[in-house]
Amino acid sequence: MGTIRRLDNQTRFVPFAFPAHVGQLVHHMKCYAHPADAIGVCAWCGRGLCADCARPAANPRLVCSPACAAALARADQAMQSILRQSVQSARASACYSYLCAALSAGGAVGAWYYLPSPYLIGFTAACTIIFLAAGFIYSRITRKSAAN
């Protein structure tokens, strides 16, 4: 297949194997407010920024305006909240998995003494092993996430 590239208000079909710089003019991104070449893009809206327009945000990303900086900060806070909630969810899943493993182990012991059915004993023992493995995996996820 190929891609459609837009250069100098002309639309051209360029095959994937054909490099963009061969036989075509290369245009540098310009600042959205000045005729200077852009040194980066706004992390929120994607506008080109020259050295005069680039404003460092609280993190190492560039922003073009205080509104973009505020929106970027809100997005970062929302992402941190989602990550905290996912760690809490993994912790709760680990507890529930261990609880189900204990109940399944109790069911296996009860089946051994009260209902000597090999299928039932094997099934509840297998469930115990699976729930223990799931609890272990969720615990590792929680520890790794808390370390970061």
67-96 pLDDT, tens digit per residue, is 888 888 898 899 989 988 988 999 999 999
Domain membership flag for residue 36: no
Q: Nearest-CA neighbor of 37 among 50, 54, 55? A: 50
DSSP 29: P
- The domain tally of the chain equals 1
Within 8 A by CB and 6+ apart from 136, the residues are none
Condensed to tens digits (0 to 9), the pLDDT of residues 10-62 reads 444 444 444 555 555 445 778 888 888 888 888 888 888 887 877 665 667 78
Which secondary-structure segment (H or E) carries 7? Answer: strand 2-7
Question: Is residue 135 exposed (0-12), middle (13-18) or buried (19+ Cβ within 10 Å)?
Answer: buried
Domain membership flag for residue 42: no
Domain membership flag for residue 133: yes
Look at 144 and 13; give whichever has higher pLDDT. Answer: 144
Condensed to tens digits (0 to 9), the pLDDT of residues 105-115 reads 999 998 888 88
Look at 99 and 72; give whichever has higher pLDDT. Answer: 99
Which secondary-structure segment (H or E) carries 111? Answer: helix 66-114
Res 127: pLDDT: 93
Domain membership flag for residue 23: no
Phi, psi of 133 (to 5 degrees): -65, -40
Residues of the domain holding 143:
86-147
Phi, psi of 131 (to 5 degrees): -65, -35
Res 128: pLDDT: 95
Res 104: pLDDT: 94
Which secondary-structure segment (H or E) carries 13? Answer: strand 10-15
Work out the mean pLDDT of the chain and round it to a whole number: 80
Domain membership flag for residue 46: no
